[in-house]
């Protein structure tokens, strides 16, 4: 019995080491890309975030915010737009691989969305879906592989 356990452990250890190495490479690559591509902060008019392995929260405070971009790899994001009452429209672009974003918007906002990939986009039943992107308060463009976006009234 002990010999069988030892043999199984010897077979699994290289796979475990490879998996841990892959996780480390993804985490380091995410940090390097974030240092290069991240732009703006919560008070900026344009925000871009690159994030891997974990979670991130954004709460934009500038009423003039016009663009938010998120690139996520095995990560999740949360965007809270409920503090913004009036806007000329916000373009939210999400590219996610095994990740997703939850977006909270004021209940009276109109939302337009376009999704490509494997996953999906869902909206709260209380939100108004808009068929013309130019009339929308939030325009969501998403590309995801095993990921998704959820938009809810907050």
Give the count of domains, the chain.
1
Look at 125 and 96; give whichever has higher pLDDT: 96
Reference 101, options 146, 138, 149; nearest CA is 149
Is 2 a member of any domain? no
Is 106 a member of any domain? yes
Decide: 99 and 75 in contact? Cβ < 8 Å.
Answer: yes
Is 114 a member of any domain? yes
Is 104 a member of any domain? yes
pTM greater than 0.85: no
Domain that holds residue 145: 38-153
Average pLDDT over residues 125-152: 88
End-to-end CA, the chain:
57
Instruction: Tell me the per-residue pLDDT of 59-114, one tens digit each, with 9 for 90 and over.
Output: 998 888 999 999 998 899 999 999 888 888 899 999 999 999 999 998 888 899 99
What is the per-residue pLDDT for 104?
A: 93
Between CA 103 and CA 75 the distance in angstroms is 15
Is 32 a member of any domain? no
């Amino acid at each position: 019995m002990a010999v069988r356990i030892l043999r199984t452990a010897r077979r699994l250890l290289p796979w475990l080491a490879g998996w841990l190495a892959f996780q480390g490479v993804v985490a380091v690559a995410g940090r390097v890309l974030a240092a290069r591509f991240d732009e703006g902060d919560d008070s900026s008019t344009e925000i871009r975030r690159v994030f891997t392995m974990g979670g991130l929260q954004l709460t934009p405070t500038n009423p003039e915010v016009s663009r938010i971009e998120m690139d996520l790899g095995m990560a999740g994001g949360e965007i809270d737009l409920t503090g913004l009452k009036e806007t000329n429209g916000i373009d939210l672009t999400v590219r996610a691989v095994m990740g997703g974003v939850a977006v909270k918007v004021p209940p009276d906002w109109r939302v337009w969305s376009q999704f490509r990939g494997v996953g999906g986009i869902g909206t709260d039943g209380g939100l108004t879906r808009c068929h013309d992107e130019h009339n929308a308060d939030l325009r969501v463009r998403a590309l995801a592989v095993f990921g998704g976006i959820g938009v809810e009234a907050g």
